[in-house]
A and B are shown apart, each in its own frame.
Chain A
Amino acid sequence: MVSPEKSCCSCSCQNVSSSGICAITSINSTISLKNRIDHFQARWGYKRSNHRVIPGLYKLGNPNAESPVFACANYTLSFDVLRSALNCLDGYILVLDTKGINVWCAAGKGTFGTDELVRCIESTGLSDVVSHRKIIVPQLGAPGVSAIEVQRRSGFNVNFGPVRAKDLPLFLKTGTKTPEMRRVDFPLYDRLVLTPVELIQVIVPTIIITIILWFIVGNMAALAAIVTVLTGTILFPILLPLIPTKDFSMKGLILGFILAIPFAVGYALSQGLPLWAQVTGALVPLLVIPPVVAYLALNFTGSTTFTSRTGVKKEIFRYIPVMILLSATGIIIGVILGILRLMEMI
Protein backbone atom coordinates (compact mmCIF):
# COMPACT_ATOMS: atom_id res chain seq x y z
CA MET A 1 0.00 0.00 0.00
CA VAL A 2 1.18 3.45 -0.82
CA SER A 3 0.61 6.09 1.80
CA PRO A 4 -1.89 8.79 0.84
CA GLU A 5 0.68 11.61 0.75
CA LYS A 6 2.88 9.61 -1.55
CA SER A 7 0.17 8.52 -3.91
CA CYS A 8 -1.28 12.00 -4.08
CA CYS A 9 -0.63 13.77 -7.29
CA SER A 10 -0.09 17.44 -6.91
CA CYS A 11 -1.12 18.08 -10.50
CA SER A 12 -4.36 19.46 -9.27
CA CYS A 13 -5.51 22.98 -9.76
CA GLN A 14 -3.06 25.56 -8.42
CA ASN A 15 -5.24 28.63 -8.86
CA VAL A 16 -8.99 28.53 -8.99
CA SER A 17 -10.43 31.57 -10.73
CA SER A 18 -13.50 33.47 -9.45
CA SER A 19 -15.74 31.49 -11.79
CA GLY A 20 -14.60 28.29 -10.13
CA ILE A 21 -12.74 27.04 -13.20
CA CYS A 22 -9.14 26.00 -12.91
CA ALA A 23 -6.95 28.85 -14.12
CA ILE A 24 -4.09 27.51 -16.22
CA THR A 25 -0.75 29.19 -15.54
CA SER A 26 0.65 31.03 -18.56
CA ILE A 27 4.29 30.63 -19.44
CA ASN A 28 6.55 31.67 -22.30
CA SER A 29 9.59 30.27 -24.08
CA THR A 30 12.12 32.74 -22.71
CA ILE A 31 14.97 31.31 -20.69
CA SER A 32 15.84 34.02 -18.19
CA LEU A 33 19.08 34.63 -16.34
CA LYS A 34 17.41 33.16 -13.26
CA ASN A 35 16.64 29.99 -15.24
CA ARG A 36 20.25 29.79 -16.40
CA ILE A 37 21.53 30.14 -12.85
CA ASP A 38 19.13 27.37 -11.83
CA HIS A 39 20.42 25.15 -14.67
CA PHE A 40 24.01 25.81 -13.64
CA GLN A 41 23.23 24.86 -10.05
CA ALA A 42 21.43 21.71 -11.20
CA ARG A 43 24.43 20.73 -13.31
CA TRP A 44 26.68 21.05 -10.28
CA GLY A 45 24.31 19.03 -8.12
CA TYR A 46 23.61 22.05 -5.90
CA LYS A 47 20.36 21.47 -3.93
CA ARG A 48 19.62 18.54 -6.20
CA SER A 49 15.99 18.06 -5.37
CA ASN A 50 15.12 21.76 -5.50
CA HIS A 51 15.04 22.13 -9.26
CA ARG A 52 11.33 21.51 -9.55
CA VAL A 53 8.41 22.97 -11.44
CA ILE A 54 5.01 22.83 -9.76
CA PRO A 55 3.18 19.94 -11.45
CA GLY A 56 0.02 20.82 -13.36
CA LEU A 57 -1.19 22.25 -16.63
CA TYR A 58 0.52 25.24 -18.25
CA LYS A 59 -0.27 27.17 -21.38
CA LEU A 60 2.31 28.44 -23.78
CA GLY A 61 1.36 31.27 -26.16
CA ASN A 62 -2.35 31.48 -26.93
CA PRO A 63 -3.57 27.92 -27.22
CA ASN A 64 -7.14 26.95 -28.06
CA ALA A 65 -9.10 23.71 -27.73
CA GLU A 66 -7.34 22.30 -30.80
CA SER A 67 -3.80 23.01 -29.61
CA PRO A 68 -1.36 20.18 -28.89
CA VAL A 69 -0.62 18.96 -25.36
CA PHE A 70 2.90 17.98 -24.30
CA ALA A 71 3.70 15.89 -21.25
CA CYS A 72 6.82 16.79 -19.30
CA ALA A 73 8.74 15.99 -16.11
CA ASN A 74 8.83 18.56 -13.31
CA TYR A 75 12.63 18.93 -13.43
CA THR A 76 13.42 22.55 -14.36
CA LEU A 77 15.95 21.50 -17.02
CA SER A 78 13.38 19.23 -18.73
CA PHE A 79 10.63 21.84 -18.52
CA ASP A 80 12.83 24.68 -19.77
CA VAL A 81 14.26 22.70 -22.68
CA LEU A 82 10.70 21.87 -23.75
CA ARG A 83 9.23 25.36 -23.48
CA SER A 84 12.21 26.96 -25.22
CA ALA A 85 11.99 24.39 -28.06
CA LEU A 86 8.32 25.34 -28.51
CA ASN A 87 9.19 28.99 -29.12
CA CYS A 88 6.46 30.76 -31.14
CA LEU A 89 4.11 27.78 -30.87
CA ASP A 90 0.83 27.60 -28.97
CA GLY A 91 0.13 24.61 -26.79
CA TYR A 92 -0.34 23.12 -23.36
CA ILE A 93 2.32 21.55 -21.18
CA LEU A 94 1.19 18.93 -18.70
CA VAL A 95 3.84 18.71 -16.00
CA LEU A 96 3.87 15.40 -14.14
CA ASP A 97 5.18 15.10 -10.61
CA THR A 98 8.45 13.24 -11.14
CA LYS A 99 10.02 14.55 -7.91
CA GLY A 100 12.34 16.85 -9.84
CA ILE A 101 13.81 14.06 -11.98
CA ASN A 102 14.32 14.23 -15.74
CA VAL A 103 12.00 12.30 -18.06
CA TRP A 104 14.22 9.32 -18.83
CA CYS A 105 15.41 8.58 -15.31
CA ALA A 106 11.89 9.11 -13.97
CA ALA A 107 10.47 6.78 -16.63
CA GLY A 108 12.97 4.12 -15.55
CA LYS A 109 11.77 4.48 -11.97
CA GLY A 110 8.13 4.65 -13.03
CA THR A 111 7.45 8.13 -11.62
CA PHE A 112 7.09 9.41 -15.17
CA GLY A 113 4.64 6.65 -15.85
CA THR A 114 1.18 5.47 -16.82
CA ASP A 115 -0.36 6.04 -13.36
CA GLU A 116 1.00 9.55 -12.93
CA LEU A 117 0.06 10.56 -16.47
CA VAL A 118 -3.52 9.29 -16.13
CA ARG A 119 -3.85 10.96 -12.73
CA CYS A 120 -2.60 14.29 -14.08
CA ILE A 121 -4.90 14.14 -17.10
CA GLU A 122 -7.84 13.64 -14.74
CA SER A 123 -6.89 16.05 -11.95
CA THR A 124 -6.17 18.96 -14.31
CA GLY A 125 -9.43 18.42 -16.19
CA LEU A 126 -7.52 18.23 -19.46
CA SER A 127 -10.45 16.68 -21.31
CA ASP A 128 -12.44 19.89 -20.69
CA VAL A 129 -9.58 22.11 -21.82
CA VAL A 130 -8.92 20.51 -25.20
CA SER A 131 -11.39 19.04 -27.66
CA HIS A 132 -9.01 16.42 -29.07
CA ARG A 133 -7.74 13.35 -27.21
CA LYS A 134 -4.06 13.35 -28.10
CA ILE A 135 -1.07 13.89 -25.86
CA ILE A 136 2.53 14.13 -27.05
CA VAL A 137 4.82 12.29 -24.65
CA PRO A 138 8.61 12.44 -25.02
CA GLN A 139 9.86 9.14 -26.45
CA LEU A 140 12.22 8.68 -23.51
CA GLY A 141 9.15 8.54 -21.28
CA ALA A 142 8.14 5.25 -22.96
CA PRO A 143 9.92 2.97 -20.44
CA GLY A 144 7.32 4.18 -17.92
CA VAL A 145 4.31 4.91 -20.09
CA SER A 146 2.15 2.23 -21.64
CA ALA A 147 0.27 3.98 -24.43
CA ILE A 148 -2.37 1.24 -24.48
CA GLU A 149 -3.07 1.59 -20.75
CA VAL A 150 -3.23 5.39 -20.90
CA GLN A 151 -5.71 5.19 -23.78
CA ARG A 152 -7.84 2.66 -21.94
CA ARG A 153 -7.87 4.54 -18.65
CA SER A 154 -8.03 8.18 -19.75
CA GLY A 155 -9.24 8.10 -23.34
CA PHE A 156 -6.12 10.02 -24.38
CA ASN A 157 -4.06 8.70 -27.24
CA VAL A 158 -0.35 8.83 -26.48
CA ASN A 159 1.80 9.99 -29.34
CA PHE A 160 5.46 9.39 -28.57
CA GLY A 161 7.33 12.45 -29.78
CA PRO A 162 11.00 12.79 -30.63
CA VAL A 163 13.80 12.02 -28.15
CA ARG A 164 15.05 15.61 -28.23
CA ALA A 165 12.73 18.56 -27.66
CA LYS A 166 14.54 20.57 -30.34
CA ASP A 167 13.07 18.22 -32.98
CA LEU A 168 9.50 19.03 -31.87
CA PRO A 169 8.77 21.88 -34.32
CA LEU A 170 9.67 19.68 -37.30
CA PHE A 171 7.81 16.72 -35.79
CA LEU A 172 4.69 18.88 -35.37
CA LYS A 173 4.96 20.11 -38.94
CA THR A 174 5.45 16.72 -40.59
CA GLY A 175 3.61 14.57 -38.06
CA THR A 176 6.25 11.85 -38.35
CA LYS A 177 9.48 10.96 -36.63
CA THR A 178 12.57 10.40 -38.70
CA PRO A 179 14.82 7.51 -37.52
CA GLU A 180 17.27 10.14 -36.22
CA MET A 181 14.56 11.68 -34.04
CA ARG A 182 14.11 8.29 -32.37
CA ARG A 183 17.75 7.57 -31.73
CA VAL A 184 19.59 8.50 -28.59
CA ASP A 185 23.20 9.53 -28.97
CA PHE A 186 25.72 10.70 -26.43
CA PRO A 187 27.75 13.52 -28.00
CA LEU A 188 30.64 15.37 -26.37
CA TYR A 189 28.47 18.20 -25.05
CA ASP A 190 26.05 15.79 -23.36
CA ARG A 191 28.96 13.96 -21.75
CA LEU A 192 30.65 17.19 -20.73
CA VAL A 193 27.65 18.66 -18.89
CA LEU A 194 27.51 15.54 -16.72
CA THR A 195 31.10 15.83 -15.50
CA PRO A 196 30.53 18.42 -12.71
CA VAL A 197 28.14 16.08 -10.89
CA GLU A 198 30.59 13.19 -11.31
CA LEU A 199 33.32 15.30 -9.74
CA ILE A 200 31.15 16.68 -6.92
CA GLN A 201 30.19 13.15 -5.87
CA VAL A 202 33.79 12.24 -5.02
CA ILE A 203 35.17 15.64 -4.04
CA VAL A 204 35.08 15.18 -0.24
CA PRO A 205 36.94 11.84 -0.05
CA THR A 206 39.38 13.14 -2.68
CA ILE A 207 40.29 16.20 -0.60
CA ILE A 208 40.71 14.08 2.54
CA ILE A 209 42.92 11.51 0.79
CA THR A 210 44.96 14.25 -0.91
CA ILE A 211 45.68 15.94 2.43
CA ILE A 212 46.62 12.63 4.07
CA LEU A 213 48.93 11.70 1.18
CA TRP A 214 50.48 15.16 1.18
CA PHE A 215 51.39 14.91 4.85
CA ILE A 216 52.47 11.27 4.91
CA VAL A 217 53.90 10.52 1.48
CA GLY A 218 54.65 13.78 -0.28
CA ASN A 219 53.77 16.27 -2.98
CA MET A 220 53.84 13.84 -5.87
CA ALA A 221 51.40 11.40 -4.21
CA ALA A 222 48.98 14.25 -3.40
CA LEU A 223 49.19 15.47 -6.99
CA ALA A 224 48.62 11.91 -8.23
CA ALA A 225 45.42 11.65 -6.16
CA ILE A 226 43.99 14.87 -7.60
CA VAL A 227 44.95 14.06 -11.18
CA THR A 228 43.57 10.52 -10.86
CA VAL A 229 40.15 11.76 -9.75
CA LEU A 230 40.04 14.49 -12.43
CA THR A 231 40.95 11.85 -15.03
CA GLY A 232 38.24 9.45 -13.86
CA THR A 233 35.47 12.02 -13.55
CA ILE A 234 36.21 14.55 -16.31
CA LEU A 235 38.73 13.24 -18.82
CA PHE A 236 37.13 9.78 -19.00
CA PRO A 237 33.66 11.03 -20.04
CA ILE A 238 35.28 13.35 -22.61
CA LEU A 239 37.40 10.59 -24.16
CA LEU A 240 34.79 7.82 -23.73
CA PRO A 241 34.28 6.84 -27.40
CA LEU A 242 37.98 7.17 -28.21
CA ILE A 243 39.33 4.74 -25.62
CA PRO A 244 39.63 1.18 -26.95
CA THR A 245 37.43 -1.76 -25.80
CA LYS A 246 33.74 -1.74 -24.86
CA ASP A 247 33.88 -2.27 -21.12
CA PHE A 248 34.01 0.90 -19.05
CA SER A 249 36.28 -0.74 -16.48
CA MET A 250 38.78 -1.81 -19.15
CA LYS A 251 38.69 1.66 -20.70
CA GLY A 252 39.37 3.07 -17.23
CA LEU A 253 42.28 0.67 -16.63
CA ILE A 254 43.85 1.71 -19.95
CA LEU A 255 43.41 5.43 -19.29
CA GLY A 256 44.63 5.02 -15.71
CA PHE A 257 47.71 3.08 -16.81
CA ILE A 258 48.70 5.85 -19.24
CA LEU A 259 48.21 8.42 -16.48
CA ALA A 260 50.29 6.34 -14.04
CA ILE A 261 53.37 6.19 -16.30
CA PRO A 262 54.74 9.70 -15.54
CA PHE A 263 54.25 9.13 -11.79
CA ALA A 264 55.99 5.74 -12.04
CA VAL A 265 58.89 7.38 -13.89
CA GLY A 266 58.98 10.08 -11.21
CA TYR A 267 59.37 7.52 -8.42
CA ALA A 268 61.86 5.45 -10.43
CA LEU A 269 64.08 8.48 -10.76
CA SER A 270 63.90 9.49 -7.08
CA GLN A 271 67.31 10.10 -5.62
CA GLY A 272 69.06 8.40 -2.74
CA LEU A 273 67.20 5.09 -2.86
CA PRO A 274 68.52 1.64 -3.68
CA LEU A 275 67.53 0.27 -7.07
CA TRP A 276 65.02 -2.25 -5.71
CA ALA A 277 63.22 0.50 -3.79
CA GLN A 278 63.08 2.69 -6.90
CA VAL A 279 61.53 -0.15 -8.91
CA THR A 280 58.96 -1.15 -6.28
CA GLY A 281 58.18 2.53 -5.65
CA ALA A 282 57.45 2.92 -9.36
CA LEU A 283 55.06 -0.05 -9.16
CA VAL A 284 52.79 1.70 -6.64
CA PRO A 285 51.22 4.27 -9.02
CA LEU A 286 51.02 1.63 -11.75
CA LEU A 287 49.04 -0.62 -9.42
CA VAL A 288 46.86 1.97 -7.67
CA ILE A 289 45.96 4.60 -10.30
CA PRO A 290 44.45 2.31 -13.00
CA PRO A 291 41.88 0.62 -10.71
CA VAL A 292 40.79 3.96 -9.22
CA VAL A 293 40.22 5.45 -12.68
CA ALA A 294 38.50 2.19 -13.69
CA TYR A 295 36.15 2.38 -10.70
CA LEU A 296 35.20 5.98 -11.49
CA ALA A 297 34.77 4.98 -15.15
CA LEU A 298 32.50 2.08 -14.20
CA ASN A 299 30.38 4.44 -12.14
CA PHE A 300 29.83 6.58 -15.23
CA THR A 301 27.68 3.77 -16.72
CA GLY A 302 24.62 5.13 -14.93
CA SER A 303 25.01 8.46 -16.70
CA THR A 304 25.35 7.04 -20.16
CA THR A 305 22.54 6.44 -22.62
CA PHE A 306 23.33 2.90 -23.66
CA THR A 307 24.55 0.52 -20.93
CA SER A 308 22.23 -2.38 -20.08
CA ARG A 309 21.83 -3.66 -16.55
CA THR A 310 22.92 -7.16 -17.60
CA GLY A 311 26.14 -5.78 -19.06
CA VAL A 312 26.94 -3.49 -16.13
CA LYS A 313 26.37 -6.33 -13.69
CA LYS A 314 28.72 -8.52 -15.70
CA GLU A 315 31.32 -5.75 -15.57
CA ILE A 316 30.97 -5.46 -11.80
CA PHE A 317 31.60 -9.19 -11.30
CA ARG A 318 34.44 -9.26 -13.81
CA TYR A 319 36.39 -6.19 -12.84
CA ILE A 320 35.71 -5.25 -9.22
CA PRO A 321 37.85 -8.19 -7.94
CA VAL A 322 40.67 -7.14 -10.31
CA MET A 323 40.40 -3.54 -9.10
CA ILE A 324 40.54 -4.62 -5.45
CA LEU A 325 43.50 -6.94 -6.08
CA LEU A 326 45.53 -4.31 -7.97
CA SER A 327 44.88 -1.44 -5.59
CA ALA A 328 45.38 -3.56 -2.45
CA THR A 329 48.72 -4.86 -3.75
CA GLY A 330 49.82 -1.33 -4.62
CA ILE A 331 48.77 0.08 -1.24
CA ILE A 332 50.51 -2.75 0.66
CA ILE A 333 53.76 -2.17 -1.26
CA GLY A 334 53.45 1.57 -0.64
CA VAL A 335 52.88 1.08 3.09
CA ILE A 336 55.83 -1.34 3.40
CA LEU A 337 58.10 1.11 1.57
CA GLY A 338 56.88 3.90 3.84
CA ILE A 339 57.55 1.90 7.00
CA LEU A 340 61.04 0.90 5.81
CA ARG A 341 61.75 4.54 5.09
CA LEU A 342 60.53 5.66 8.53
CA MET A 343 62.70 3.03 10.14
CA GLU A 344 65.56 4.42 8.04
CA MET A 345 66.21 1.02 6.54
CA ILE A 346 66.23 2.56 3.05
Chain B
Amino acid sequence: MFNSYQENTLRFYQQKCINCGRCIEVCPHGVFAEGEKAVRLIHPKDCMECGACALNCPVQAIDVQSGVGCAWAMISAAIRGKDMDSGECSCGGDSGSCCGGEK
Protein backbone atom coordinates (compact mmCIF):
# COMPACT_ATOMS: atom_id res chain seq x y z
CA MET B 1 0.00 0.00 0.00
CA PHE B 2 1.10 3.51 -0.81
CA ASN B 3 4.34 2.31 -2.32
CA SER B 4 4.72 3.08 -6.00
CA TYR B 5 8.35 2.04 -5.95
CA GLN B 6 7.90 -1.74 -5.85
CA GLU B 7 8.57 -2.24 -9.54
CA ASN B 8 11.01 -0.74 -12.03
CA THR B 9 12.51 -1.45 -15.43
CA LEU B 10 15.76 -3.05 -14.21
CA ARG B 11 16.36 -6.49 -15.76
CA PHE B 12 19.44 -8.58 -15.03
CA TYR B 13 20.37 -11.50 -17.30
CA GLN B 14 22.64 -13.42 -14.98
CA GLN B 15 23.56 -16.04 -17.59
CA LYS B 16 25.34 -13.31 -19.60
CA CYS B 17 27.25 -11.93 -16.60
CA ILE B 18 31.03 -12.33 -16.66
CA ASN B 19 31.41 -11.28 -13.02
CA CYS B 20 33.53 -8.20 -13.72
CA GLY B 21 31.83 -6.29 -10.91
CA ARG B 22 31.56 -2.95 -12.70
CA CYS B 23 27.84 -2.74 -11.82
CA ILE B 24 28.62 -3.15 -8.13
CA GLU B 25 31.17 -0.38 -8.44
CA VAL B 26 28.86 2.17 -10.10
CA CYS B 27 25.53 1.45 -8.38
CA PRO B 28 24.75 4.12 -5.76
CA HIS B 29 22.16 1.94 -4.01
CA GLY B 30 23.84 -1.43 -3.51
CA VAL B 31 21.44 -3.21 -5.88
CA PHE B 32 24.10 -5.74 -6.94
CA ALA B 33 26.46 -7.85 -4.85
CA GLU B 34 29.40 -10.08 -5.52
CA GLY B 35 28.70 -13.70 -6.34
CA GLU B 36 30.78 -16.75 -7.00
CA LYS B 37 30.35 -17.14 -10.74
CA ALA B 38 28.19 -14.13 -11.49
CA VAL B 39 27.06 -10.95 -9.80
CA ARG B 40 23.85 -11.27 -7.75
CA LEU B 41 20.88 -8.94 -7.93
CA ILE B 42 20.13 -8.45 -4.23
CA HIS B 43 18.02 -5.29 -3.88
CA PRO B 44 16.15 -4.77 -7.16
CA LYS B 45 13.53 -2.51 -5.53
CA ASP B 46 16.21 -0.02 -4.51
CA CYS B 47 17.05 0.70 -8.16
CA MET B 48 16.47 4.33 -9.14
CA GLU B 49 16.96 3.65 -12.86
CA CYS B 50 20.02 5.89 -13.22
CA GLY B 51 21.37 3.54 -15.88
CA ALA B 52 25.01 3.55 -14.71
CA CYS B 53 25.20 -0.26 -14.46
CA ALA B 54 23.73 -0.96 -17.90
CA LEU B 55 25.97 1.67 -19.54
CA ASN B 56 29.06 0.19 -17.92
CA CYS B 57 28.25 -3.51 -18.37
CA PRO B 58 30.65 -4.88 -21.01
CA VAL B 59 28.34 -7.75 -22.02
CA GLN B 60 24.88 -6.12 -21.93
CA ALA B 61 23.74 -8.33 -19.09
CA ILE B 62 21.75 -5.45 -17.60
CA ASP B 63 18.84 -3.66 -19.15
CA VAL B 64 17.15 -0.62 -17.65
CA GLN B 65 15.13 2.23 -19.10
CA SER B 66 17.11 5.00 -17.49
CA GLY B 67 15.56 8.32 -16.70
CA VAL B 68 15.25 10.95 -14.03
CA GLY B 69 12.57 10.36 -11.42
CA CYS B 70 11.48 13.96 -11.33
CA ALA B 71 7.74 14.66 -11.07
CA TRP B 72 8.30 18.33 -11.90
CA ALA B 73 9.85 17.46 -15.27
CA MET B 74 7.24 14.83 -16.14
CA ILE B 75 4.27 16.99 -15.15
CA SER B 76 5.58 19.99 -17.11
CA ALA B 77 6.09 17.76 -20.15
CA ALA B 78 2.55 16.39 -19.79
CA ILE B 79 1.11 19.92 -19.46
CA ARG B 80 2.90 21.01 -22.62
CA GLY B 81 1.36 18.01 -24.37
CA LYS B 82 4.65 16.18 -24.74
CA ASP B 83 5.55 12.62 -23.91
CA MET B 84 6.19 12.37 -20.17
CA ASP B 85 9.36 10.41 -20.77
CA SER B 86 10.71 13.18 -22.97
CA GLY B 87 10.41 15.53 -20.01
CA GLU B 88 13.96 16.60 -19.61
CA CYS B 89 15.08 17.56 -16.19
CA SER B 90 15.18 21.32 -16.45
CA CYS B 91 18.20 21.69 -14.21
CA GLY B 92 20.39 24.40 -15.57
CA GLY B 93 17.64 26.32 -17.27
CA ASP B 94 17.10 29.88 -16.18
CA SER B 95 13.63 29.07 -14.99
CA GLY B 96 12.72 26.41 -12.49
CA SER B 97 14.84 23.46 -11.66
CA CYS B 98 14.47 20.33 -9.71
CA CYS B 99 17.87 19.73 -8.36
CA GLY B 100 20.59 21.67 -6.66
CA GLY B 101 22.88 19.04 -5.22
CA GLU B 102 26.62 19.53 -5.22
CA LYS B 103 27.59 15.98 -5.98
Residues of A contacting B100 in the complex (Cβ-Cβ under 8 angstroms):
42-43, 45, 102, 193-194, 197, 303
A329 to B25 CA separation, bound complex (whole angstroms):
50
- Expressed in whole angstroms, the minimum distance between the Cβ of A194 and any Cβ of chain B is 5
Q: Which of A100, A179, A315, A318 contacts B92 (CB 8 A)?
A: A100
A309 to B65 CA separation, bound complex (whole angstroms):
9
B15 lies within 8 A of chain A by Cβ: no
- Cβ–Cβ contact B4 & A160, under 8 A: no
CB contact under 8 A between A109 and B103, given known A142-B55, A246-B5: no
- Cβ–Cβ contact A311 & B102, under 8 A: no
- Taken residue by residue from 70 to 87, chain B's Cβ proximity to chain A (1 for < 8 Å, 0 otherwise) reads as 111111001000001100
- Cβ–Cβ contact A307 & B28, under 8 A: no
A315 to B100 CA separation, bound complex (whole angstroms):
22
- Cβ–Cβ contact A182 & B25, under 8 A: yes
B22 lies within 8 A of chain A by Cβ: yes
A184 lies within 8 A of chain B by Cβ: yes
Q: Which of A78, A144, A312 contacts B74 (CB 8 A)?
A: A312
- Taken residue by residue from 25 to 45, chain B's Cβ proximity to chain A (1 for < 8 Å, 0 otherwise) reads as 111111000000000000000
Q: Which of B4, B29, B51, B65 contacts A318 (CB 8 A)?
A: B4
CB neighbors of A among B1-56 (8 A): 1-5, 7-9, 22, 24-30, 46-52, 55-56
Residues of B contacting A45 in the complex (Cβ-Cβ under 8 angstroms):
97, 100
Classify chain B: how many residues form its interface, as a range.
35 or more
Residues of A contacting B2 in the complex (Cβ-Cβ under 8 angstroms):
245-247, 250
A77 to B68 CA separation, bound complex (whole angstroms):
21
Residues of B contacting A104 in the complex (Cβ-Cβ under 8 angstroms):
99, 101, 103
- Cβ–Cβ contact A311 & B5, under 8 A: yes
- Cβ–Cβ contact B89 & A302, under 8 A: yes
- Cβ–Cβ contact B84 & A102, under 8 A: no
Q: Which of B4, B91, B96 contacts A314 (CB 8 A)?
A: B4
A179 to B24 CA separation, bound complex (whole angstroms):
9
Residues of A contacting B26 in the complex (Cβ-Cβ under 8 angstroms):
139, 142, 160
A276 lies within 8 A of chain B by Cβ: no
- Cβ–Cβ contact B98 & A183, under 8 A: no
- Expressed in whole angstroms, the minimum distance between the Cβ of A272 and any Cβ of chain B is 41
Top 3 nearest A-B pairs (CB, nearest first) are A302-B70, A302-B98, A142-B52
The 12 listed contacts between A and B (C-beta, < 8 Å) are: A45-B97, A48-B94, A104-B101, A163-B103, A184-B29, A201-B96, A247-B3, A302-B89, A308-B9, A308-B47, A309-B74, A310-B69
Q: Which residues of B contact A (CB under 8 A)?
A: 1-5, 7-9, 22, 24-30, 46-52, 55-56, 58, 65-75, 78, 84-85, 88-89, 91-94, 96-103
New A-B contacts (19) at CB < 8 Å, excluding given A302-B73, A302-B98? A48-B97, A105-B99, A142-B55, A143-B55, A145-B56, A146-B55, A146-B56, A148-B56, A148-B58, A160-B26, A164-B103, A201-B96, A247-B3, A299-B98, A305-B101, A306-B46, A306-B48, A309-B74, A310-B69
